[in-house]
Structure 1
Amino acid sequence: MKPIKITILLIALLLTPALLAANEPEQQQPVKDQETEKQHTASIVEASKGEKYIYLEVEESGNKTWIATLPSFLGGEVKPGDRVHYSGGVEMTGFKSKELDKTFDKILFITKIKKAEAPRLNDLEHVPADNYHSQFVKQEKDQTITAPAKGEIEKAGNGKNIEEIFSEAEKLKGKEVLLRARVLKVSKKILSKNWLTLQDGTGTPPDNKLTVTTLDTAVAGDIVTVKGILKTDVNLGAGYFYKLILEEAVIVK
């Protein structure tokens, strides 16, 4: 298969816009699509970080595999001994990484991947209560936030609540929307943005939370008032689809 065909196939099957900028061309061997997206949980044996990709040798049930992805997809730093969940991907044979100056017999390029979750709070009770170790407990607590009850959070003046945003989405799409809600989760510096998951006690699952992208910072548990542009049916690729998302948001209060 010619190099240009390989590039086209990669674009169609794997790459998000972020990966397009990072693609290493001129590969000589065919690309094999992984037709079934089996869910894998594997331990990292070796991690090599290039300028664009991170290359991981992982082991699952005694079998070792090389995979590559963008660091931002992992949701955090990883090292040998850590575990990752992944699925899908595109396999390439005889792939030479210019970043590492290394040729892989087989390597799987992955976009659906994340670092395995840290232990829950009840697994952290034994952690020493010193300044160094307490930071890990705090990070876990910051991401374990109770959703607000109905009526707990007052709607912002001239704003909308989450239930209204979903019910009026057709009318509001492309327009600026003001929302006050609690931050349930923060994912920092993904695609150069901070991603917030917000709830305000209104709406019916799954339409009771809203994803917001912003350059501002927030802490899980904060009640914030955000203003951003509502977009609908946003497909970021790699299985990430948002029925609604509030983009280019700023935290105004």
Structure 2
Amino acid sequence: MKRSLILAAAALISLLPVAGHGADAGKPVHPAVSSARPEAVKPKEQTPVTGKVMQTMNGGGYSYILLKKASGDKVWLAVPQMDVELGATLTFKPGMEMADLQSKALNRTFEKIIFSEGLVDGKGGKNAKKSAKKSPGSKGSVATAGEKIKVKKATGPNAYTVAELYKLKGKLDKKKVVVSGKVVRVSAGIMGKNWVHIQDGSGDAKKGTHDLVVTSQAVPVIGEVVTASGTLYKNKDFGGGYKYEVIVEKAELEIQ
């Protein structure tokens, strides 16, 4: 197993683009990295990684997933982009660990992160197959929060709760709205924008009216409470599975 991991690391490095001239010339740079100086890839994890999904965000063709192991330890993984549910217990293939990795797409640095090829066949947990079949847009990407959420309604004449935006979508179509919510999922750098899922505790999870997608140039962190100001559209279809009953476009995000 150790030999196969070393060979895999060598293969990965051989596929990475090479930095330019100077002191860093010839050093490997992962496609998700903006810095040319991450620590060398190390065959750290040699066994599958199992844990509960605490956070997930997409960017640059990768899904960045924070797992909480049974021991209580938390670990970040980067896998080819996929949709997973918050709260699901999943098992991922072992992979190479990188330190101080900076993601261009997410504009953040991971102190340590494991690059995995994806889920272990047959060991993804009860929600694995369902998650893998989800489309990136529309009802397929509705996020299920791993905790009870209660966010105070935004203030002002154009302020609404998430549930009210769904209820009044006909009246509010193409109008400015303001809504507050907790960030539960982020998909960055898709179609030139970032897709942020927020929830405030209102709405019906069974009907999908509890989860609102907001597009923005900002990239908030999962768990932050934000107030979004933008234009609401009903039944917006971007193609490629990105179809939304309600969406707030070109939003400015203010962190609470």
TM-score normalised by L of structure 2: 0.46
Give the helix-richer structure, 1 or 2: 1
Higher Rg of the two aligned structures: 1
